[in-house]
Structure 1
Amino acid sequence: MATRRIERRLRPTSRAIGLVVVGVLLAAAAVVFGRGELLALGGFLVALPLVAFVLRLIWRPRLEAVRTIYPTTLAVGDRMRVVTEVRNRSLIALEPSSYLDLLPGAEPSSIGGVLPAIGSRLNRNEDKRRRRVAYGVDSMRRGVHEVGPLFFDNADGLGLTRRVLKIGEATEVEVWPRVAELPAMSVPSGKSGGEVEAGVAQSGDSDDVLTRDYRRGDPLRRIHWRATAHAGELRVRQEEHHAEDTSVVILDTSGTAAAEEPKAPLTLVDLMNEQAAPAHAIDAEFELAVSLAASVLARFHRFGYETELFETHAGLDGDTESTRTPSEEALESVMRRLMLTQPDSTAGERREACAEVVDDISRVARTPVVYVHRNLAGDGLTAIRSLSAMAAPALALIVSAKPVPRATLTSFTDAGWNVAVYSPARAKPFTPLLELEATA
């Protein structure tokens, strides 16, 4: 259904319309009763809104905005700081106005407010010719978003006319999936292949450890200060493993079981954004599944594994290519892929590619395989379960807001999978509801 957008052009307020109506009635009464003072008063009431409207048409405020955002790349749940400086370049001052910085997914209370009057460019006081809008948000959704433009709901001093002013341009920000520490996930150290390139902290003590260069995202508690002082750059403790070790993560991108995805409630941001697509409610299960996949990849990468991400469904172009990240590189590319990935639609636009995924993984030596499961069923799920024969270990993370049937759990454990169940309905969604060991 088409949304009625907020009018932005200059328009009279209900007060102005009321004055015109009263003025016309007074003029009519003056003619009937022959009272000249009523005619003068009626003419004044009619002329006042008209003059105000014409003057506002002639003198339009000229504002410019400079926006600073930190950071421009963040994860779901991180706090983003936005500071916008607004300057008045016109000859007339701007009355106090309510503002809204367009930011989908944020609460209007955190991105809107009332800005004091801004002096004209003739004002000698620099501080009165500019105002600052600053706020922080931590409710950004996964994906690529645009912050801005800034909107002002501006009315004249008498409240007879109002217009919505669009100030500045949009700034793009990237919101990556949330990465959390997953408890009790077993990661083997590997038994074959050449050792990963790592430095040994020769401190002269008996507690020599393997170290490597510091990477963005490494916790400060893992910094090895003696090795850092010796090397002249930050070094962190490196768990011993082997460079040829590869870890595989498979994300279930099958569509939701619901017949129709519910629409999100209409917000003020939706009304202001005339180019917005129809809003959809967040698929909490899929968002948690993506975050689990990102968290597992980050954990493997922290241990020095080469990581590889597969999805159970091909892209819209039919591509089934995985995203491989060597241990010495950052996870930027795979995080961007997870930032943009979406579940298959009810129309089945994405082709199921489980057989191709299994074929690709089967060419790799025994390796840790983590499968994040949601709604996949049938032959595709059977193919994925068969990977336990070539995995060491095989771990299935099942995401469901509802109780998982016992048959589903046993189908994994009997096939040789360790199982952990997660629910987005919990206060701590990254803590498993249930953990089961493989029985095969």
Structure 2
Amino acid sequence: MTPKTSNKLSGVESTATDSAVESTTFTQYASENMGLFVGIVTRVTTGLLVARKAILKAAKWTYASVTPIGWLCVALVIAAIPLGLILHWIEFTVAGGVALLLLVIAVPFLLGGKSYSVDFSLPEDRVVAGSDVHAQIVVKNVSARIELPGQIDVPIGKSIKDISVPLMLPGQVFTEDVQFPALRRGVIEVGPVMTIRTDPIGALRHEREWADVKELYIHPLTVSVPSTSAGFIRDLEGNPTANLVDSDISFHAIRHYAPGDGQRHIHWKSTAKTGELMVRQFEESRRSRMALILALNSSEFATEEEFETAVSAVGSLGVRAIRDGRDLSVITSAEIAPGTKKVVRSIRSLSVLSSRSLLDELCRVEASDSAMDLNQVCAMTAQALSDISIVFIACGSSMTPKQLQHIRLRLPQDVAVVALLCDPGDEPRYRIFSGVSVLNIGILDDLRALLSRYNG
């Protein structure tokens, strides 16, 4: 250890070390009294800073730990006891004393809880609407002392699940199964898990977060649709159209050679018979792309149940198409800022990379008054997708025949249009109106039978 030296000469004080030290400090005061004054000021300033930090920490702890009942007790202690002593009102003095006693008794209940090790597991982060969700919480006392009973809160969406933790010995493990219903489609946040310390009357309360927030996807209810349903075109290479092209796989006719035609399409037998060059002509083959359009405007649904049925119908058709490897597009109205609906038009294409990604996207869709109506969505879909061959439109019972007719005019004439009218109070029906195949769905199970009839 390097010895430390101190020199005082003409009011100069310095501290230095030997030459092996890289840096030194040299301080000079005008006089010894000034040096003493500066030292006192420095110590006082440091003490004030420490006191300020302690006061702020105590104030923060008090604000976070004292409940409204606790503040009432504090007010009684501050006001009732002096008032009772001054006015000689024994009732005020007793009330203030009882409030002080309750605060003193409540303090030990906040002790502990920091020695917990909390593990919250959610085995399944994706479930179907209407099913039950099972989770597990494991609490361990990792300290060498006894932990008093406490409480753990598990936020589940807008609700909270309370779990009582018993008195735990050192190293003891407490396991609790958490079960709650997933009633409605959507995405809910589970967590963070919080340990709660509070007294019997709730005057003081201390919370500590442990686990992270987990997202739980509640998928819409779907039904299995056979691969032979939904009007799919089952040609491996695509569906030949009425458009004639010079190169494809669907042969149409033979015509005279024109400059620019490829030599590999020359039909030599016809050329030999006619004495002129003849080439093959083909029909353009097009892949069968299916578009699913989901209405999001609230005016197009009479009830929330109709909207949920429409989402389930789109999910059922989309899952079947993805599993069959079909070309698919799922279109909805994009979110439009309030006040800009008249000047802004926008559609959104949901992810169809997998059945899971599509159902995840459908968990987040919600009906809104600011969403575009189907008439505008279909018009933009026809502009964005030029290769669609069949369109399914999922909407509610509020859609009138006149509105369906306008929607049909927005789509190309060579595209088959099927409207899924979701009305839980109606019987399943199949009818054709103005070039639109209308399927009235009372319950989701009606979709399978109606699609089979449509194919027939």
TM-score, with normalisation over the residues of structure 2? 0.56
- 1:274-308 Cα deviation digits (max 9, x unpaired): xxxxxxxx933222211110111112233332221
Secondary structure of the residue aligned to 2:65 is: coil
Whether the aligned pair in 1 keeps the contact of 2:374 and 2:407 (CA below 8 Å) is: no
The CA distance in 2 between the partners of 1:143 and 1:353, in whole Å, is 23
- 1:160-200 Cα deviation digits (max 9, x unpaired): 744252432322233333322358983345254528xxxxx
Could you tell me which amino acid in structure 1 is paired with residue 177 of structure 2?
A
User: Which residue pairs with 1:226 in the alignment?
Assistant: none
- 1:349-378 Cα deviation digits (max 9, x unpaired): 9994321213445x326x333221224569
Could you tell me which amino acid in structure 2 is paired with residue 132 of structure 1?
T
Whether the aligned pair in 2 keeps the contact of 1:314 and 1:351 (CA below 8 Å) is: no
Aligned residues: 333
Whether the aligned pair in 1 keeps the contact of 2:121 and 2:135 (CA below 8 Å) is: yes
Identify if the C-alpha distance between structure 1 residues 185 and 164 changes in structure 2 by more than 3 Å, giving closer, same or farther. farther
- Listed as ranges, the matches of 1:158-177 within 5 Å are 159=201, 161-163=203-205, 165-168=207-210, 169-177=212-220
Equivalent of residue 244 in structure 1, options 274, 287, 306:
287
- 1:363-396 Cα deviation digits (max 9, x unpaired): 326x33322122456987434334584345x432
> 1:103 offset after TM fit, Å?
0.7
The CA distance in 2 between the partners of 1:306 and 1:64, in whole Å, is 50
> 1:339 offset after TM fit, Å?
2.3
Could you tell me which amino acid in structure 2 is paired with residue 82 of structure 1?
A
Could you tell me which amino acid in structure 1 is paired with residue 366 of structure 2?
Q
Segments of structure 2 that go 5 or more residues without pairing to the other structure are 1-62, 239-284, 338-344
| 2:165 matches 1:115 | yes
Identify if the C-alpha distance between structure 1 residues 351 and 116 changes in structure 2 by more than 3 Å, giving closer, same or farther. farther
Secondary structure of the residue aligned to 1:413 is: strand
| 2:408 matches 1:422 | no
> 1:148 offset after TM fit, Å?
0.8
User: Which residue pairs with 1:385 in the alignment?
Assistant: 408
The CA distance in 2 between the partners of 1:324 and 1:184, in whole Å, is 21
Identify if the C-alpha distance between structure 1 residues 390 and 79 changes in structure 2 by more than 3 Å, giving closer, same or farther. farther
The CA distance in 2 between the partners of 1:45 and 1:396, in whole Å, is 71
The CA distance in 1 between the partners of 2:65 and 2:234, in whole Å, is 70
**Counting strand residues as a fraction of each chain, which structure ranks higher?**
2
- Listed as ranges, the matches of 1:89-104 within 5 Å are 93-104=146-157
**Sequence identity percentage:** 18
The CA distance in 1 between the partners of 2:168 and 2:322, in whole Å, is 51
Could you tell me which amino acid in structure 1 is paired with residue 167 of structure 2?
A
Whether the aligned pair in 2 keeps the contact of 1:183 and 1:431 (CA below 8 Å) is: no
User: Which residue pairs with 1:286 in the alignment?
Assistant: 307
| 2:288 matches 1:253 | no
Whether the aligned pair in 2 keeps the contact of 1:100 and 1:151 (CA below 8 Å) is: yes
Whether the aligned pair in 2 keeps the contact of 1:289 and 1:372 (CA below 8 Å) is: yes
| 2:369 matches 1:345 | yes
Could you tell me which amino acid in structure 1 is paired with residue 65 of structure 2?
R
User: Which residue pairs with 2:65 in the alignment?
Assistant: 9
**Counting helix residues as a fraction of each chain, which structure ranks higher?**
2
- Listed as ranges, the matches of 1:27-426 within 5 Å are 48-55=101-108, 59=111, 61-62=113-114, 63-88=116-141, 93-104=146-157, 111-119=161-169, 123=170, 126-127=171-172, 130-139=173-182, 141-156=184-199, 159=201, 161-163=203-205, 165-168=207-210, 169-182=212-225, 186-188=229-231, 190=233, 192-194=235-237, 244-256=287-299, 283-311=304-332, 313-316=333-336, 318-323=345-350, 325=352, 330-346=354-370, 352-361=376-385, 363-364=386-387, 367-374=389-396, 375=398, 381-386=404-409, 387=411, 389-392=413-416, 394-401=417-424, 413-423=432-442
- 1:214-264 Cα deviation digits (max 9, x unpaired): xxxxxxxxxxxxxxxxxxxxxxxxxxxx993322211112224699xxxxx
Whether the aligned pair in 2 keeps the contact of 1:67 and 1:84 (CA below 8 Å) is: yes
The CA distance in 2 between the partners of 1:346 and 1:43, in whole Å, is 57
Secondary structure of the residue aligned to 1:390 is: coil
Secondary structure of the residue aligned to 1:66 is: strand
Whether the aligned pair in 1 keeps the contact of 2:335 and 2:371 (CA below 8 Å) is: no
TM-score, with normalisation over the residues of structure 1? 0.58
Segments of structure 1 that go 5 or more residues without pairing to the other structure are 1-6, 35-39, 196-241, 260-281
The CA distance in 1 between the partners of 2:151 and 2:134, in whole Å, is 20
Secondary structure of the residue aligned to 2:321 is: helix
User: Which residue pairs with 1:431 in the alignment?
Assistant: 446
Identify if the C-alpha distance between structure 1 residues 165 and 331 changes in structure 2 by more than 3 Å, giving closer, same or farther. same
> 1:159 offset after TM fit, Å?
5.0
Whether the aligned pair in 2 keeps the contact of 1:421 and 1:434 (CA below 8 Å) is: no
> 1:398 offset after TM fit, Å?
0.8
The CA distance in 1 between the partners of 2:103 and 2:433, in whole Å, is 81
Q: Which has the higher contact order (CA 8 A, sep 6+)?
A: 1
Q: Which has the larger radius of gyration?
A: 2
The CA distance in 1 between the partners of 2:300 and 2:390, in whole Å, is 29
- 1:126-171 Cα deviation digits (max 9, x unpaired): 22xx422322334154333211122455433x65744252432322
The CA distance in 2 between the partners of 1:350 and 1:114, in whole Å, is 51
Identify if the C-alpha distance between structure 1 residues 99 and 376 changes in structure 2 by more than 3 Å, giving closer, same or farther. farther
Identify if the C-alpha distance between structure 1 residues 414 and 13 changes in structure 2 by more than 3 Å, giving closer, same or farther. closer
Secondary structure of the residue aligned to 2:367 is: coil
Whether the aligned pair in 1 keeps the contact of 2:291 and 2:392 (CA below 8 Å) is: yes
Identify if the C-alpha distance between structure 1 residues 185 and 417 changes in structure 2 by more than 3 Å, giving closer, same or farther. farther
Could you tell me which amino acid in structure 2 is paired with residue 431 of structure 1?
D
> 1:112 offset after TM fit, Å?
3.2
- Backbone CA RMSD of aligned residues: 5.1
